[in-house]
Structure 1
């Protein structure tokens, strides 16, 4: 008889080190409280932890409200089989400028920053430190940590909670270009039971077109439109085997157990040579999906009952009765 592992022996992977936005997302997962957290260097390592069984799940960034989809995550999910998204989590993204104790803004000549963070703070940096230089970092936390290991940079762009982990001074807060920036994270596991529908759900897919003939993208989109399924994200990514071949990363409103969504996926599967179902899970914002009555579950059930009655010879409400 196999014993159930205790929380202390269960591991969750996240893009580390401690203090990253990914760690902030993992803190939102109730099941991860009290478990071991594995800090990894990239998405590939996080998913390898999941597929190998080292971790029960991994938290990875999949979309940013400013930069769009995270291509490394999208490509990894397309190429690593048998994964499921269990849930999504939103983290507000802002930055602070930190430096070694005693440093002032006037002392800052070189700023260490991850390229994405640098792009998202460039407006403030150019206005406040017009002659600064940029030294790229491997992560937001590494940018700050490097200040205590080297004097090549005078300051670093880092997450707001960085001073909980490193003895640094905060020179400026809220330096991001967009104060409303949000990053969407997903908790990914190996094949698992589907979360039950909540009425405020999202389904994620990756879909390839059958060929590059005119109208194929429209054909794909009609699978959703004719069933009243709204798409909240659609992005193309190169498949990589030749020029002009793309796959589409899709998020749609609804759960695979919703009749309209299930019917759309059946149509999509008949149309596409490859459909990857990544999961149906509760929306982080908990906004209920609005469904037009003509696309409600009952309508699809009634349509199937009507067809079955015709096939079996039963009377239907749409046919005149014999007098």
Structure 2
């Protein structure tokens, strides 16, 4: 990077929920912030050294994993998740002044936003056709352009406040008022965030072969070591039908003995396993660790085995 200032990129344009997540990062308000048109573009800026880190959505409490992010981070040169942020989600319906709800025939927004407002749309504008947008903010700003090919947009309230040419037709149109989206800050592999005691580890595990018990063998690496999984999703690799990888969030840090041992087991089963990072949980929830899976228990067990091997070696030398 030519500048000494930290540079972040995010799924833009300005005013997206992703930018709100980025603003939770200490120092982000004073950093250089570059909007990206899509997740792939944001991550590529990091890979190419054009940005120090990218904030992208990875999971929604209503729709589950954000597939564009899951796929983009699982392939290409390796990246690391160094932080996560949670943002409560609410939506408004906006249009140009003079447009009424009864006039709406086409609505644009991001796919996840459309899915989260589906019931409201069916009840209030059932005739509306969905026009996919790269982001909620981009859809809203697009309304102000000459020749806009849709009548309204679904976006965050902040976008409507910052764009004087937009008129809010309806507020709080989300089907789930408690909806939350989880975002991750992604950088190039570098210093591993320190263990906080309330951490999360993300890995990508390709299924070595499609056979009975293959997934169970992967899950057993966590279960037998007392590691809880907070998310597991399958995604197609794109190589051929039936070939998948699993994107997994596990409670704990790679510096925890139980997590390190589980990752070692995964690597034995699937050598192409990709470590995506260990980082502090945004909710600061501390996992419950059984005594037999604590660091002390692992250290004691390893010392016991080492004692057996040392004793055997000494016996062989004196024989």
Partner residue of 1:43? 39
- Cα distance in 2, alignment partners of residues 5 and 132 from structure 1: 47
Partner residue of 1:242? 240
- Cα distance in 1, alignment partners of residues 159 and 196 from structure 2: 36
Partner residue of 1:272? 270
CA deviation after TM superposition for structure 1 residue 119, in Å = 2.3
Over 3 Å counting, the alpha-carbon distance change for 1:308 and 1:135 in structure 2 is closer
- Cα distance in 2, alignment partners of residues 240 and 166 from structure 1: 40
**1:299 has 2:297 as partner:** yes
CA deviation after TM superposition for structure 1 residue 120, in Å = 1.6
What secondary structure sits across from 2:50 in the alignment?
coil
**1:188 has 2:213 as partner:** no
Assess if the C-alpha contact under 8 Å between 1:75 and 1:237 holds in 2: yes
- Cα distance in 2, alignment partners of residues 15 and 180 from structure 1: 22
- Cα distance in 1, alignment partners of residues 261 and 133 from structure 2: 46
From 23, 33, 49, give the equivalent of 1:27: 23
- Cα distance in 2, alignment partners of residues 278 and 183 from structure 1: 19
What secondary structure sits across from 2:9 in the alignment?
strand
Assess if the C-alpha contact under 8 Å between 2:16 and 2:137 holds in 1: yes
Worse overlay, 125-134 or 95-104 = 125-134
CA deviation after TM superposition for structure 1 residue 4, in Å = 10
CA deviation after TM superposition for structure 1 residue 5, in Å = 5.2
Map of 1:62-73 to 2, 5 A cutoff?
Answer: 62-73=58-69
Cα deviation code 1:97-146 (max 9, x no counterpart): 11222434344343333333222212112212233343333321122122
Assess if the C-alpha contact under 8 Å between 1:61 and 1:70 holds in 2: yes
What secondary structure sits across from 1:101 in the alignment?
coil
Over 3 Å counting, the alpha-carbon distance change for 1:244 and 1:4 in structure 2 is closer
- Cα distance in 1, alignment partners of residues 139 and 59 from structure 2: 22
From 116, 122, 142, give the equivalent of 1:120: 116
**1:253 has 2:236 as partner:** no
**1:156 has 2:157 as partner:** no
RMSD of the alignment, in Å? 1.9
- Cα distance in 2, alignment partners of residues 214 and 45 from structure 1: 38
TM-score, normalization: structure 2? 0.92
TM-score, normalization: structure 1? 0.91
Task: Give the paired residue count.
Answer: 310
Assess if the C-alpha contact under 8 Å between 2:63 and 2:115 holds in 1: no
Gaps (5+ residues) in structure 1?
315-323
